[in-house]
Structures are given as C-alpha cells and as structure tokens.
Amino acid sequence: MRTSNSLSSFVKNIHKNHPFQNIKKSLAHFFSKISRVRNSQVDFTTQPCKFYKVFSNNYITQSQQKNQTGFISHFGPRQEPALILHGNNPQSKLGPGIIYYKGSCIDYKNASGEKAVHKLLNVHDFVAAVNKDFGLDLHRSGNTGSGPLHLICCYSGGLSPKSLAGQMARELERSVVCYGIDKPVTTFPGLSSGLEETSKVFCEEIFLDRKVLSPLYEIIHLPDNQPGEVRV
C-alpha cells in the first residue's frame, strides 16, 4: 500500500526529532518495510486475490506495534470486504463520527514531531474522502463489490438505524455489517491479519478481575432505514 506522503523523508525526520537510538532504528525498519508495498489501480469487483489498502499507520513506540486503518477485500470467516476504522465516543464533546487520518505518524505525531491532525467525519464525508484519497468507491454500484461491507469501528454498532452502520448502509445503498452495541471493538493488529479466515472482532471485558477478549456477533443493516438484525 502506498501512503500519500514520502516515507523516506518521514524516516529522515524521525532521526532529527527522536533522540533515542533504539526507537529510531525500529521505526526506520518499520517504515522501510511499508515503503516496499504499493497500491495498484485495479477493478475490485473482479480482483481474484486478497488485498488491502492502508489509510493510516500509527506506530506505538511503547508496545512496538503498528495501528492501521484501511480497507480489506476479504475479511474473516465470510471473506467479505471490510473497513477497519476508528470511531469517536458519542458521549464525548465532539459526538459520534469516524476519526479519519491519511498517512503515517508515530505516537500520534507527524514527522515534524507535531500532533497529527485527525478529522472527525460523518458518514457522507468519510465515503467521499476515501474515494478522493484512495480511489475506493464504497457504494454498491462502485468498485469494491456489491456484497455486505463489514464496518469494524468503535461505537458504530447496534440495531438502531441511526447508528453509524445504519447510516452507512443508506449512504452506500448496500448492506453493512457491524459488531457490538455502540461499544469499543478490536480485531487482530495489522490489516493483513484480517485477511485470514480465523479473524474475528472482539470487545474487551473484565472477567474475574482480568481483561479478556470476547468475540462479538454480527449485526446486519440493510439500506431501508429499518433496525438492523442479528446475522445468522
């Protein structure tokens, strides 16, 4: 996948703005691996192989993990297309929406060491941004297929047609699958892991004073402004 900014210049700026040598080495290695992967302009409706497009990379130095958002052509057991995104807590001051960022950052900071600016978008503006930035037309009549689209995004689930999943189904005129009831969700790290048939979506719960990951069931929304239904 090709990010919109120059990864080589990004790595150079890492060395200027991050004083710790071990962090610089690990980050340079991480971004050199990313830079070898490229997006290609393909017809997604006929593309036989599995693929993904990365919208954003955020490298967390403390855990040495990458946090990615993007599109996956074949997700989980059903091998259907999916979006992996960040959703905003509807109880916060800014309210519900999709947190959108394009490019690479480290600990939520850009190459110059400044805090990366993430946009909070409604469903309509998000769909338009992804089409403009990455050539992905998510509509049923677009280039990402006409089957159900999985929305793996915190605070996007639930049965209500007012949920982000319900809104997206109407926006795209396409069935949208969500997980959980308006709560944080998680899946295996890295977009490439989502291509595996064993991939699932989880919520974090406390059981016997320990954090455990519990698999979430699917809720499907049709573009008819009716409540979603548990998918079987």
Strand partners, 150: 82, 177
Write down the pLDDT at residue 48: 65
Write down the pLDDT at residue 29: 54
What's the CA gap between 163 and 165, in Å, rounded? 5
Domain boundaries, the chain: 7-230
Strands (E) located in the chain: 52-60, 65-75, 80-88, 97-100, 103-106, 119-121, 149-153, 176-179, 186-187, 201-207, 210-215, 218-221, 229-230
Under 8 Å between Cβ of 227 and 160: yes
Containing H/E element for 31? helix 21-34
Mean pLDDT by 10 residues, the chain (232 residues): 39 49 52 45 61 94 90 97 97 95 93 90 98 97 96 97 98 97 91 95 88 94 98 93
